[in-house]
Amino acid sequence: MAAYGRVLWENPRLMDPNRKRAVRLTVALTAALVLATALIYVSFSAGRDEFTATQLLNRAKPGGQYILAGTVVDGSVVHVNSSTMTFKVIDPHSPVTVAVRYSGLVPDPFAPGRAVMVTVNDSGGSFVGQQNSLTTKCPSKYQTAVGASD
């Protein structure tokens, strides 16, 4: 034991194994804490708010990019050409609508009366949907179907 102590003091590069384990544990836990903090920060800061038609009309600034959520108005879908269409999205809480010009892939369930989300750019009062950003929301299986009787 005395020989070990003498070797430790004579050669400063050697470290007590218990101390070495403690240092490694401290470094590993610190790294894990830093990574967890970064993950939480990125998770919460990456989310973007959805806007209804009313909110979008009140808050949008030219050149801004927003996520519009609402329901496609019946009779508002017009196919301009093979890759472009226009449609209106209505606010679920008021009769306010927003017209959207959209180019890109259209999901199969897209239809009038369906809840949708689309990323739009404000082009000075008109809203242009970002290509391939249109998604439909699935209706809840717990909602009563329209026209269903009790």
84 touches 41 (CB < 8 A) = no
pLDDT band of residue 43 (cuts 50, 70, 90) is: confident
For residues 10 and 72, state if they share a domain: no
For residues 14 and 78, state if they share a domain: no
90 or 8, greater pLDDT: 90
For residues 107 and 91, state if they share a domain: yes
| pTM for the structure as a whole | 0.63
For residues 26 and 91, state if they share a domain: no
Percentage of the chain surpassing pLDDT 90? 41
Is the confidence at residue 4, as pLDDT, over 90? Answer: no
List the structure tokens of 150.
């009790």
Mean pLDDT of the chain: 83
Q: What is residue 24's predicted lDDT score, i.e. its pLDDT?
A: 92
Percentage of the chain surpassing pLDDT 70? 81
Is the confidence at residue 139, as pLDDT, over 70? Answer: no
For residues 69 and 127, state if they share a domain: yes
Q: How many domains does the chain have?
A: 2
Which structural domain range is residue 16 located in? Answer: 2-45
For residues 127 and 56, state if they share a domain: yes
Residue 8 maps to a domain: yes
Residue 142 maps to a domain: no
For residues 75 and 30, state if they share a domain: no
